[in-house]
Structure 1
Amino acid sequence: MTYIRKPEWLKTKLQSGLQFVHVNNIVKEHGLHTICSSGRCPNMSECWNKGTATFMISGEICTRSCKFCNTLTGRPLPLDPTEPAKIAESIQLMNLKHAVVTSVDRDDLPDGGAYHWAETIKAIRKTNPDTTLEVLIPDFDGKTELLNIVIAQKPDIISHNLETVRRLTPSIRTKAKYDISLKVLSYIHSQGIIAKTGIMVGLGETEEEVLTLMDDALATGCSILTIGQYMQPSRKNIPVSEYITPAKFEEYKITGLQKGFRIVESAPLVRSSYCAEKHIL
């Protein structure tokens, strides 16, 4: 595939600052993993300077090898039983009003890491009772008994990303299935918790497919949608098919709101946890 030059609207400046250094030091001192750094998020400097970060639990090695993701893949290490406490303490040190936690996929574990998720949420709630919490979870193969383990801890928002349109899912997400992700979102909503999802565009999808995805997500009860530009994080990842214009992102936002989403974050640099603190009711 021919290399496509990155447009001006996607070029970001590296930032520093005391708050960025403070957050960076906490992450390093506690041996934490963040999707900000492992995913090479373009908003890392902005968010860290605001004193926010998206923590990634269950290690840094994923059992899946999605074509868009820069997270390490392979055989994960055993879970760190001290990780929940470390995450909770870090959130306290950062004085976060809203925290976001995600994880790698742990298909190597019988529970997919669900109990580790529960322990992490418990620790965060105990140490930071006033902090609102969003969790961005794997699909747990759609098993409701595993989803219930996380749901029982009652995070404020449970997010699970569709990532891309139905047609591209098999080639982009490998093990994950579009309909399983819809089932997960539907189950989250059925349990009375805000359901949220996110997608990337620029992978070769059509506008019609994006609009169909919106309808599919809305049918599950999902009320928050994020749309951002896919950017190839490394040479091993799938190349960008197209850079979507800011005007088209704005059009998607307007359409999504008209269709019935409560919140739509749609812009080139939007990622699933971007401005997450604004999504609490």
Structure 2
Amino acid sequence: MNSLPKPEWIKVKINQSSAFKETDALVKKYQLNTVCTEAACPNIGECWTKRHATVMILGNICTRACAFCNVATGRPSPIDPNEPARIALMVQKLNLRHVVITSVDRDDLKDGGAQHFAHVITEIRKTLPSTTIEVLTPDFLRKEGAVLTISKVKPDVFNHNMETVPRLYPSIRPGARYFQSLRILYEAKQLQPDVFTKSGMMLGLGESKEEVVQVMDDLRCAQVDFLTLGQYLRPTPKHAAVQHYVTPNEFEEYYHIAKAKGFLQISSSPMTRSSYHADTDFEVLKNKRLTTYLSN
């Protein structure tokens, strides 16, 4: 068992406000999955109170078994063709200005689920054209053309998480390949240079500072715009143990290192998660790009 006690700075309370309950009711009404619940996100209380939910498409069963993830592993169900329309209705009911769409890994599908991502984006745009859309995709390992399929419908943000440093991939992310994750981020930027690219890491799994900095360098080589860094929290005793609780001061140091490397936007704190404050972060990204353009 993990014997490290949780420090005060990462303890959160779930405040089930009326807005939280409304979001929960809509998710259930439209029979949708969210990464908020499936991955046991500690920020669910704050986000759902703000009517912000990260929708998880393609079912709630993953074909991978990553050591950090709380999503169930097994044989997934067939694709639900009505899911895009239900998601669009929920986005409309919540009047979301920014929505994050993620998915389980679907290694069983020829395209990894890329076309379904495209259908969801298209349906949301039909219903609420002003809503900006962020996708948080799997790595599409051995799924040639998947990134192109999503890029054609031009999400506003293309996000794929590196999750950890390459040395830890065999134990933490055994079904994935580090350079494949880098490749799809680079490919997304080459296909649609105006689309923001984004990636994130969990800290506290046993990585060194030097390894984290090397991942930053690799992401900048892939022209990634936005980096998120947050504390890994063990969802159950069956998952990888926390090796270290990174202090707020250490996260602040990583922020300044990343800023010096040229990321357009950085979120680095113990409670940072990939989709945490995604709506406000998107506005910051747009403004920073405009400021950079005007200054040049």
Q: Residue 199 of structure 1 aligns to which amino acid in structure 2? A: M
- Whether 1:201 and 2:207 are equivalent positions in the alignment is no
Q: Does the aligned pair in 1 maintain the 2:32–2:55 contact within 8 Å?
A: yes
**TM-aligned CA deviation for residue 234 of structure 1:** 1.1
Q: Distance in 1 between matches of 2:39 and 2:143?
A: 26
Q: Does the aligned pair in 2 maintain the 1:68–1:232 contact within 8 Å?
A: yes
- Whether 1:279 and 2:282 are equivalent positions in the alignment is yes
Q: Residue 176 of structure 2 aligns to which amino acid in structure 1? A: A
What corresponds to 1:126 in structure 2?
126
Bigger mean CA deviation after superposition, 3-12 or 271-280: 271-280
Kindly report which structure 2 residues correspond to 1:19-38, keeping only aligned pairs within 5 A, or say none: 19-38=19-38
- Whether 1:262 and 2:264 are equivalent positions in the alignment is yes
What corresponds to 2:188 in structure 1?
188
**TM-aligned CA deviation for residue 144 of structure 1:** 4.4
TM-score, with length taken from structure 2: 0.93
Matched length: 281
What corresponds to 1:40 in structure 2?
40
Q: Deviations over 1:216-243 (max 9, x none)?
A: 0000000100000000011221111110
Q: Distance in 2 between matches of 1:215 and 1:246?
A: 22
- Matched residue SS, 2:89: helix
**TM-aligned CA deviation for residue 143 of structure 1:** 4.0
**TM-aligned CA deviation for residue 59 of structure 1:** 0.2
What corresponds to 2:51 in structure 1?
51
Q: Does the aligned pair in 1 maintain the 2:134–2:157 contact within 8 Å?
A: yes
Q: Distance in 2 between matches of 1:8 and 1:145?
A: 45
**TM-aligned CA deviation for residue 261 of structure 1:** 0.4
What corresponds to 2:3 in structure 1?
3
Q: Deviations over 1:60-100 (max 9, x none)?
A: 00000000000011000111111000111000000100000
Change (3 A) 1:209 1:28: same
Q: Distance in 2 between matches of 1:276 and 1:11?
A: 21
- Whether 1:141 and 2:144 are equivalent positions in the alignment is no
**TM-aligned CA deviation for residue 169 of structure 1:** 1.3
- Matched residue SS, 2:79: coil
Q: Distance in 1 between matches of 2:275 and 2:170?
A: 24
Q: Distance in 1 between matches of 2:35 and 2:183?
A: 25
Q: Deviations over 1:5-50 (max 9, x none)?
A: 0001111112011110110000011111000011111111001001
Q: Residue 27 of structure 1 aligns to which amino acid in structure 2? A: V
What corresponds to 1:87 in structure 2?
87
**TM-aligned CA deviation for residue 142 of structure 1:** 5.7
Q: Distance in 2 between matches of 1:79 and 1:67?
A: 25
Q: Please provide the CA RMSD for this pair.
A: 1.0
Q: Does the aligned pair in 2 maintain the 1:55–1:102 contact within 8 Å?
A: yes
Q: Distance in 1 between matches of 2:4 and 2:17?
A: 32
**TM-aligned CA deviation for residue 190 of structure 1:** 0.8
Q: Distance in 1 between matches of 2:110 and 2:98?
A: 30
Q: Distance in 2 between matches of 1:151 and 1:279?
A: 18
Q: Residue 37 of structure 2 aligns to which amino acid in structure 1? A: S
Q: Does the aligned pair in 2 maintain the 1:142–1:181 contact within 8 Å?
A: no
Q: Distance in 1 between matches of 2:102 and 2:217?
A: 25
Kindly report which structure 2 residues correspond to 1:95-244, keeping only aligned pairs within 5 A, or say none: 95-141=95-141, 143-191=143-191, 192=193, 193-244=195-246
**TM-aligned CA deviation for residue 174 of structure 1:** 1.0
Unpaired runs of at least 5, structure 2? 287-296
Q: Does the aligned pair in 1 maintain the 2:110–2:143 contact within 8 Å?
A: no
Q: Does the aligned pair in 1 maintain the 2:111–2:145 contact within 8 Å?
A: no
- Matched residue SS, 1:167: helix
Change (3 A) 1:134 1:90: same
Q: Does the aligned pair in 2 maintain the 1:142–1:180 contact within 8 Å?
A: no
Runs of 4+ in 1 over 3 A off after TM superposition: none
Q: Deviations over 1:158-190 (max 9, x none)?
A: 000000011111211111110000101110111
Q: Does the aligned pair in 2 maintain the 1:67–1:172 contact within 8 Å?
A: yes
TM-score, with length taken from structure 1: 0.98
Q: Deviations over 1:93-152 (max 9, x none)?
A: 001000000000100111111111111111111111010010001111164411111111
Q: Distance in 2 between matches of 1:139 and 1:220?
A: 15
**TM-aligned CA deviation for residue 202 of structure 1:** 0.1
Unpaired runs of at least 5, structure 1? none
Q: Distance in 1 between matches of 2:117 and 2:13?
A: 34
